[in-house]
């Protein structure tokens, strides 16, 4: 029998709706995290030579290792794939170095934050020598390219920097990146 009573409003109704919306709201962020980040490039040079990366003029490149700090906040994977290709149109300072490299190793750090200058500062602390103005046309850093006589991969402090920066975004990092 209809008593004429109005249905009881359930206090959790609004919560339920919000909960259902959550996966939709998170999805674009998830995609963004997967795609973007900052990175270190480890470039090995076997023979001393001079490069001319545009406005920088002549830059003497020594035999040894160079670490470059960059960012690919929109498409990290495509950026890293480009750095590993030898044949490409030389556009950025770093292109002039990777085109003469014996090997190029990549250390991606997924993040949606602009950590590259902080990362460059951390690498600068380990390296005794930087290439002034290299890769830092768009920021106030003195350089984003650092020289190492020995392979920094064998230096625990270098590996620690990579892990430290990967952990910086651990709260929002969803999957490991390899
Ligand atoms: Zn910078």
Report the separation in Å between the CA atom of 100 and the middle of ligand 1, taken as the mean of its atom positions.
Answer: 24
Neighbours of ion ligand 1 (CB under 5 A): 117, 136, 139, 141
Q: Is residue 114 part of a domain?
A: yes
Tens of pLDDT, residues 166-177 = 988 765 545 555
- The total of structural domains in the chain comes to 1
Tens of pLDDT, residues 88-120 = 999 999 999 999 999 999 999 998 889 999 999
Report the separation in Å between the CA atom of 20 and the middle of ligand 1, taken as the mean of its atom positions.
Answer: 41
Q: Is residue 176 part of a domain?
A: no
Tell me the residue range of the domain where 74 lies.
Answer: 32-168
Q: Is residue 36 part of a domain?
A: yes
Tens of pLDDT, residues 44-82 = 999 999 999 988 999 999 999 999 999 998 889 999 999
Closest by Cα among 41, 75, 48 to 152: 41
Report the separation in Å between the CA atom of 120 and the middle of ligand 1, taken as the mean of its atom positions.
Answer: 6
Q: Is residue 97 part of a domain?
A: yes
With 60 as the cut, is the pLDDT of residue 14 above it? no
Q: Is residue 22 part of a domain?
A: no
Instruction: Decide the pairing of beta strands 59-61 and 49-51.
Output: antiparallel
- Residue 50, classified by CB atoms within 10 Å of its CB into exposed (0-12), middle (13-18) or buried (19+), is exposed
Report the separation in Å between the CA atom of 140 and the middle of ligand 1, taken as the mean of its atom positions.
Answer: 6
């Amino acid at each position: 029998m209809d008593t004429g009573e109005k249905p009881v409003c359930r206090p959790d109704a609004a919560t339920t709706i919000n909960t259902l919306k959550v996966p939709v709201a998170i999805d674009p962020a998830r995609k963004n995290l997967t795609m973007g980040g900052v990175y270190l490039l480890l470039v090995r040079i076997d023979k001393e030579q001079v490069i001319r990366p545009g406005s920088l003029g002549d830059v003497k490149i020594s035999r040894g290792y160079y670490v470059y700090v960059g960012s690919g906040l929109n498409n990290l994977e495509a950026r890293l794939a480009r750095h590993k290709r030898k044949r490409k149109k030389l556009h950025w300072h770093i292109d002039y170095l990777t085109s003469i490299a014996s090997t190029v190793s990549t250390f991606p750090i997924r993040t949606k934050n602009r950590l590259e200058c902080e990362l460059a500062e951390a690498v600068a602390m380990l390296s005794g020598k930087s290439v002034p103005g290299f890769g830092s046309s768009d920021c106030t850093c003195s350089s984003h390219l650092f020289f190492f006589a020995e392979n920094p991969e064998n230096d625990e402090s270098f590996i620690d920097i990579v892990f430290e920066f990967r952990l910086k975004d651990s709260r929002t990092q969803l999957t490991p990146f390899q």
